[in-house]
């Protein structure tokens, strides 16, 4: 069985990382145009670098939760049959043990050199304009995908979604494309679609199954059910 799991900020909420559009979410306290667009970065790089430095520090001290671990357990059982596609820029999936993973919106723990385009693992702050380890330019930005930029891995994702038998959306509001279109793409190719979310989203095409609840409860329970059926 081929399974694609798409995750959003909701899977990391119980690890203490804020979502974007929920009450108290990141987009309540910050303007998307200021901190999540290339234009905002060009206008005021210090504010943007500080925003991601802060998020990187918070993410570094967060721990994966039962939902991340359950997906790693599913990969152990499914091997190549599972692909996790995350919109999250934290590293909690990989720290839980997931290996077949696409970070479509990039990674907080990487820096992108705007001069030589190298992508480098990065744990420190970017605010002080450190040198790019490849070309030496002080031109590093967070390797996250901003609005108006192309997400990573689209070909691989679309191929996997089109071939999936089961498509599962976890903790995402479905407000941001192209991720928001993947459930419909999977359904058009015959997949069964499932949503696991604290508050179910309002999709264009309804999911075949919806399980409402916190990720740390509903994701392990869904994984148990998949493994019991196998």
Angle at 140 between CA 139 and CA 143, to 5 degrees: 145
As to burial, measured by CB atoms within 10 angstroms (0-12 exposed, 13-18 middle, 19+ buried), residue 39 is exposed
Under rule CB under 6 A, how many of the chain's residues touch ligand APR?
Answer: 24
Residue 20 annotated as part of some ligand binding site = yes
Supply the angle between the helices 215-229 and 66-78 in degrees, to the nearest 10: 20
* 105 among known catalytic residues: yes
Residue 10 annotated as part of some ligand binding site = yes
Residue from 68, 103, 105, 117 carrying the catalytic annotation: 105
Question: Which residues have a Cβ under 8 Å from the Cβ of 136 and sit 6 or more positions away?
Answer: none
193 near ligand APR, judged by CB under 6 A: no
Residue numbers 94-153 binding ligand APR by CB under 6 A:
105
Residue 116 annotated as part of some ligand binding site = yes
Residue numbers 24-83 binding ligand APR by CB under 6 A:
25, 36
Instruction: Give the Cβ contact number of residue 137 at 10 Å.
Output: 14
Nearest Cα neighbor of 178 from 121, 102, 111, 67 is 102
176 near ligand APR, judged by CB under 6 A: yes
- Residue choice 193, 197, 207, 223 for contact with ligand APR (CB under 6 A): 197
Phi-psi region of 182 (alpha: psi -120 to 50; beta: other; left: phi over 0): alpha
- Residue choice 5, 13, 83, 186 for contact with ligand APR (CB under 6 A): 13
- Residue choice 15, 169, 193, 201 for contact with ligand APR (CB under 6 A): 201
| CB 90 within 8 Å of CB 12 | yes
In the complex, which residues of this chain contact ligand APR (CB under 6 A)?
8-10, 13-14, 19-22, 25, 36, 87, 105, 171-173, 175-176, 197-199, 201, 214-215
Binding residues for NAD(+): 8-27, 87-90, 171-173, 197-199, 215
Binding residues for substrate: 52, 55
């Amino acid at each position: 069985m081929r399974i694609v799991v798409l995750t959003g900020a909701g899977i990391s909420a119980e690890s203490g990382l804020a979502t974007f559009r929920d009450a108290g979410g990141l987009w309540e306290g910050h303007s998307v145009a200021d901190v999540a667009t290339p234009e905002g970065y060009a206008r005021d790089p210090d504010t943007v670098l500080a925003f991601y430095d802060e998020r990187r520090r918070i993410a570094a001290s967060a721990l994966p939760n039962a939902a991340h671990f359950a997906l790693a357990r599913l990969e152990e059982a499914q091997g190549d049959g599972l692909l996790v596609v995350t919109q999250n820029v934290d590293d909690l999936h990989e720290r839980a043990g997931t290996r077949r993973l696409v970070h479509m919106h990039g990674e907080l723990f990487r820096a992108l050199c705007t001069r030589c385009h190298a992508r480098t693992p990065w744990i420190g702050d970017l605010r002080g304009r450190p040198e790019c380890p490849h070309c030496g330019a002080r031109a590093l930005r967070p390797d996250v995908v901003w609005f108006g930029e192309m997400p990573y891995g689209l070909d691989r994702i679309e191929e996997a979604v089109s071939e999936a038998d089961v498509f599962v959306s976890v903790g995402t509001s479905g407000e941001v494309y192209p991720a928001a279109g993947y459930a419909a793409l999977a359904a058009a190719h015959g997949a069964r679609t499932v949503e696991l979310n604290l508050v179910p989203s309002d999709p264009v095409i309804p999911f075949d199954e919806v399980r409402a609840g916190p990720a740390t409860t509903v994701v392990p329970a869904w994984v148990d059910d998949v493994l019991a059926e196998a």
